[in-house]
Amino acid sequence: MNTRLLCSAIALSLSSASFAYDWDGLPVPADAGAGQKWELHSLSDDFNYDAPAVGKSTTFNQRWKEGFVNAWTGPGLTEWHPYYSSMSDGKLNIVAGRKEGTNQVYAGSITSHEALTYPLYVEIRAKISDLVLASDAWLLSADSTQEIDILEAYGSSRPGQEWFAQRIHLSHHVFVREPFQDYQPSDNDEFSYGGDKDLTWYADGKGTVWRDDWHTIGVHWIDPWNLEYYIDGELVRITRPEEIDPRGYTSGTGLNKPMHLIFNTEDQNWRSDAGITPSDAELANPAQNTYYVDWVRIYKPVSDNSGGTPSPSPSASPSPAPGTSVTTEMAHFINTGKQGSAISGDDFIGFNANGIDNINYNTVGDWADYSVSLSEDGEYAIELVTASPINGGIGAEVSINDIYIASAELSNTGGWESYQSHRLDNTVTLSAGTHSVRVQSAGSSAWQWNGDEIRFIKVGDAAPAPSPSPSASPEPSPSPSTPPVGPGVEIVVEAESYTAMSGLDTQTWWGTTSFLGNNQTGDWAEFEVEFPATGSYTLSAFASTNENDGDANMAVYIDGQLVAQSPILGSSWNEFNETSVGSGLNISAGKHTVRVESTGSTYIWQWYLDKLSFSSN
């Protein structure tokens, strides 16, 4: 194992050309496609940094969170606990142990903040535990309706478990939550072909016991209807379109939703109900109770220009007139947000910077502001370089200096990473200098497009008496965006008005003040908050605690994205003090889900909450 540290800058943005990784020299076994090559995705992680079981680390928290995609604590006898995962000696450690005084199993689980979309190849190097529990690596949509299992293995050396110890389960699920229905392919159902690359329970025919050594396991998520599974570089399973969703649970979309990456251990119902559950001795044995992951690498296909032939995507604009051409990368926004309601499965408010230059996770109403500097007066054409596999209902609106300019109907480019340029219908006359540019996704489709560049191409000289503000032809339309909120607006959220919670309850210990109490590390509450207008807000929490050393901490999520966190300090449980948790929070008009969670580094009583206050700046 490699023990060098990954600095936080690497954790935010990986570049295979600039850094050495544990998988260097190991070829990607899957085919990126004609005219494509693999590009390393920024969520890839070789775990060469420390993240202790208690308190983790900044590098860990930048890409992972303890627990699951939601508040669920696990199947059957499982209880996922934050102290049962860690990183040390260049690897991720997922541990299982007995919950004292019960027959339940504490188990580790971590989930990526970022969600992934097809096409991609994801591969791990892992050593499964010597337990009857499942050692898992999987992809799951935020609404828990679509799942791809990269690794599901049961490595116990217990007598009677030999069949499982020699197999790795390679499968997927599609769910209907209400009423609950679950489909996954089986080796024995009518969709199984019985071929050598069709079995969901894979054995290599050599009697390999998978717990005995490290192995690489990968999935090529080609599109919503095709999966390929690889073990130790060999293609071992192909999932065909008719196996993906034969019962129509996805309403014809297949595996199309962005999915979070999860590593965990589970005591699953179908095992424990049959009496197959770990003993106290097995759970207490370090040689048996840990599932290790050395690294995870993720690749997306991009155009391959190595042969000298110009890539058709993204394409240069057709022969613009000589003059200024200014390009702005879409990931280099100065502000982002959302107009309208959140979309199911979208974990980011506004555009999400995907790597150094591009944005993804873009749903209708998402927007971002850019600062664009032009060196010459003139008439400019505007192009957006985007990618999307969606047919119809995707588009963009552009405003400059708060004036609506034009919109563009964008087209299906064949994939989330197949970029093409789209020119807006209107040109605009602009003066030299710096301009504020807003790009907002628009259309009937919930999921929209990935973005690469905004291009301003000079196509003519300015009119003799140019307007100091950009003007559209023939007349500018009103801006589609909600007018920004001014200073002085306060939104107060009483703590007892939660819509969902875990571990907390409403209490009134003194006087007439009602508050959320009984709060220990990991407890949380969610609120539905209506914001009257788009703007920048400061968030304050009115909370009490007797912790004054920083161990009590509040993390705040909006629509599933971590936006702020702060220690809560105090000397008395019965004295509520105002703490500024975050400032400069760019929040769009409309209803949002706000979640507060106690995330201190030790398992203690945390803080009591009276109310939250959002004040416009």
H or E element that contains 558 = strand 553-558
Instruction: Check 123, 152, 383, 417 and give the catalytic one.
Output: 152
Residue in the structure block whose two tokens are 């194992």: 1
- How far CA 386 is from CA of 195, 459, 542, in Å, comes to 40, 21, 44
| Annotation says 152 is catalytic | yes
Among 329, 326, 331, CA closest to 382 = 326
Among 5, 4, 3, 6, CA closest to 15 = 6
Instruction: List strand residue ranges (DSSP E) for 290-351, in order.
Output: 290-303, 325-329, 335-338
User: Cis omega before residue 478 (within 30°)?
Assistant: no
Give the tokens for residue 459. 């196509």
- Of the CA atoms within 13 Å of residue 356, those in its CB half-sphere come to 7
Among 140, 133, 130, 153, CA closest to 75 = 133
Tell how strand 105-107 and strand 78-80 pair up.
parallel
Question: Residue 273 and residue 473: Cα distance in Å, rounded?
Answer: 70
Question: Residue 162 and residue 164: Cα distance in Å, rounded?
Answer: 5
The secondary structure of residue 566, as a DSSP letter, is E
- Three-state DSSP at 127 gives strand
Q: Is the dihedral of CA 422, 424, 429, 432 positive or negative?
A: negative
Instruction: Check 114, 147, 417, 453 and give the catalytic one.
Output: 147
Give the tokens for residue 139. 């992809």
> Which residues, 6 or more positions from 480, have their beta carbon under 8 angstroms from its beta carbon?
339, 397, 399, 404, 440, 442
- Three-state DSSP at 9 gives helix
| Phi, psi values for residue 200, rounded to 5° | -75, -35
Please state whether 387 falls in left (phi above 0), alpha (psi between -120 and 50) or beta: beta
- Of the CA atoms within 13 Å of residue 580, those in its CB half-sphere come to 7
The answer to whether the beta carbons of residues 507 and 514 sit under 8 Å apart is yes
Active-site positions read 147, 152
